[in-house]
Amino acid sequence: MESLYISTFIVALAEIGDKTQLLALLLAARFRKPWPIIAGIVVATLANHFAAGAIGNWVASFFSAASLSWILAASFVAVAFWTLIPDQLDDDEVAGLKRYGPFLTTLIAFFLAEMGDKTQVATVMLAAQYPNFILVILGTTLGMLLANVPVVLAGNFAAERLPLTLIRRLAAAAFGLMALYAGYQALHFSGWI
């Protein structure tokens, strides 16, 4: 269950102020139909994170436990710094998709926006770290929903009142803690402790 809880916590924090959260806000403002948007977020996130989790799980099989832990430690440090950089969303990215309606627009836009996003990269890393990548996928999807559903339901009201700089710092700290844990595991697997 650790993989579910950690995945949920880390992605929920990392998603606040992220490009896909801004996308959720934009979609909510354009369509004003929260339930098809939320359904689109769920389907897009499950599909995207399943692929990311499968890749992370597959890549992990090529490395020794010590090597994988060193790679994960470095990757978590990189994502921690990446998390500190505020995301921006271009309104034109969604404008062409509006004709498909709220569900399909959200599904396509969210799936594409998540490609190479820090939460997708985090899903790859978490799935490489934890053997049960299905729990990681469920956790990262739940984290996405915890961050995005309130934005879709409350719109600008919630998003404008969040201390985004503090939240980005907390998310970076969470990734930093994961880096320390992976580094500790690397030292343990290498026989240094």
Q: Residues 99-130: pLDDT tens digits?
A: 778 899 999 988 988 888 888 989 999 999 99
Q: What percent of the chain clears pLDDT 70, i.e. is strictly above it? A: 89
Asked if 57 and 133 count as a contact pair (C-beta separation under 8 A), the reply is yes
> How many structural domains comprise the chain?
1
Q: d(Cα 65, Cα 28) in Å, to the nearest integer?
A: 43
Q: Residues 79-93: pLDDT tens digits?
A: 788 777 776 655 555
Q: Residues 35-76: pLDDT tens digits?
A: 999 999 999 999 999 999 999 999 999 999 899 889 888 888
Place of tokens 């924090």: 13
Q: What residue ranges in the chain does DSSP mark as E strands?
A: none
The verdict on pTM exceeding 0.85 is no
Residues contacting residue 160 through CB under 8 Å, at least 6 positions apart? none
pLDDT exceeds 80 at position 164: no
Domain that holds residue 90: 2-189
Which of 73, 47, 79 is closest to 172 using CA atoms?
Answer: 79
For position 68, what pLDDT does the model report?
86
Alpha-carbon Rg for the chain, nearest whole angstrom, is 17
